[in-house]
Structure 1
Amino acid sequence: MNAYLLLSIAIISEVFGSSMLKASEGFRKLLPSIGVVAGLGVAFYSLSLSLQNIPLGTAYAIWSGAGTALTATVGIVVYKESINVKKVLGLLLVIAGVAVMKLATDGAH
């Protein structure tokens, strides 16, 4: 399977698992708690497979950066967390960093 597809699965699974952390209410709700374990389990497994073809630093930067940006977006959209110019700027900087890491990897071969 394509390494970047596996990395995408890892990112989406991590965002799901992290989002379920909030819904689990400190692991007091069963189904969201199961979602945390399943989401993060799939995330780490997929990330480990992607590392067979993507350098560790690049994969982790993309995984954590994209995960951060998407999780913050879920917080804003689903959990109605506040948003302001500073948060938007921070998210844009995270996304820019992820893009630079990807470009650096493409040129490193």
Structure 2
Amino acid sequence: MTYALLLIAIVAEVIATSALAKSNGFTILVPSLVSALGYAFAFYLLSLVTKTVPVGIVYAVWSGAGIVLVALAGWLIFGQKMDLPALIGLALIIAGVLTINLLSKTVSH
């Protein structure tokens, strides 16, 4: 259940960040509300996850997965281009998140 909550928090953060890009500096109501509510929901879920998983691990997974998924959304939804160094950086983030989850004894499975 803990990792399901973390996954939902990640999705909420990606939606909130994508809406933030459309809020025009919080001047457009609907994307601004989606962004604010999405972040609030994501942080609430993160607070629940940190009851059972160390905060450093939670934040590393949440932010790392969020970075990769927001970059993917930027590419697919907003038509943003990524060069080779950006792709390499994203691959390193994915490797870090996988290392934490699959190999670290800090994470309880």
Q: Tell me the TM-score range normalised by the shorter chain.
A: over 0.9
Question: In the comparison of the two structures, how many residue pairs are matched?
Answer: 108
**After the TM superposition, which parts of structure 1 deviate over 3 Å for at least 4 consecutive aligned residues?**
105-109
Q: Which residue of 1 aligns with 2:91?
A: 92
1:64 aligns with 2:91: no
Structure 1 alignment gaps of length 5 or more: none
Residue 105 to residue 10, structure 1, CA distance change in 2 (3 Å): farther
Deviation for aligned residue 1:105: 3.9
Q: Give CA deviations for 1:34-88 in whole Å, capped at 9, x if unaligned.
A: 0001110110001110111111111110000000000111111111111221111
Q: Given the two structures, how large is their TM-score scaled by the length of structure 2?
A: 0.92
The percentage of aligned residue pairs carrying the same residue is: 41
Letter in 1 for 2:21: K
Q: For residues 105 and 49 of structure 2, what CA distance do their matches in structure 1 show?
A: 14
Q: Which residue of 1 aligns with 2:47?
A: 48
Alpha-carbon RMSD across the aligned residues, in angstroms, is 1.5
Residue 54 to residue 82, structure 1, CA distance change in 2 (3 Å): same
Q: Which residue of 1 aligns with 2:21?
A: 22
Residue 105 to residue 35, structure 1, CA distance change in 2 (3 Å): farther
Structure 2 alignment gaps of length 5 or more: none
Letter in 1 for 2:76: V
